[in-house]
A and B are shown apart, each in its own frame.
Chain A
Amino acid sequence: MSTPDRKTAEVRHLLESGAHPVVPAELAYRAAELGLRMLHRRRIVRRLMWLLLAAAVIVFVVWAATVQPWVAPPSTVTPPVDGL
Chain B
Amino acid sequence: MRERHSTRHRRRTREFEAFVAGAGGRLLHAATLLTAEPVDANPRARRLLTSALAETYARWHRLRGEDPYDRTRQELAARFARAAWRHHRPAVPGLPRPAAETGLLARLTPQERLILVLRLYEGVAEEQTAATVGLPVDRVRAICTRAVTAMRSTPPAPPAPAAPAPEVAT
Interface set of A (CB-CB < 8 Å, partner B): 4, 7-8, 10-12, 14-16, 18-24, 27-39, 42
Contact = CB atoms under 8 A, between A and B. Distances in A.
Contact of B58 (A23, A24, A29, A35): A35
A62 B78 CA distance: 45
Interface string B36-53: 000110100110011101
29 contacts: A4-B145, A7-B148, A7-B149, A8-B120, A10-B152, A11-B116, A11-B120, A11-B147, A11-B151, A16-B121, A21-B28, A21-B40, A21-B45, A22-B40, A23-B25, A27-B24, A28-B20, A28-B21, A29-B17, A30-B50, A31-B49, A31-B56, A32-B17, A34-B50, A34-B54, A35-B54, A36-B57, A38-B57, A42-B58
Residue of B121, B148, B151 ringed by the most chain A CB atoms within 10 A = B148
B57 A27 contact: no
B136 interface: no
Nearest to B145: A4
B158 interface: yes
Contacts of A34: 50-51, 53-54, 57
Contacts of A10: 152
B127 interface: no
Interface of B: 13, 16-17, 20-21, 24-25, 28-29, 32-33, 39-40, 42, 45-46, 49-51, 53-58, 60, 104, 116-117, 120-121, 145, 147-149, 151-152, 156, 158
B54 A21 contact: no
Contact of A15 (B20, B45, B120): B120
A39 B16 CA distance: 15
B59 to A, nearest CB: 8
Contacts of B148: 4, 7-8, 11
Which 4 pairs from chain A and chain B are nearest by CB? A35-B57, A31-B53, A34-B54, A28-B20
B114 to A, nearest CB: 13
Given A30-B50, A32-B13, 18 more contacts: A7-B149, A8-B120, A8-B148, A10-B152, A11-B152, A14-B156, A15-B116, A20-B25, A20-B28, A20-B39, A21-B28, A21-B42, A27-B46, A28-B24, A28-B53, A31-B54, A34-B54, A35-B58
Contacts of A22: 40
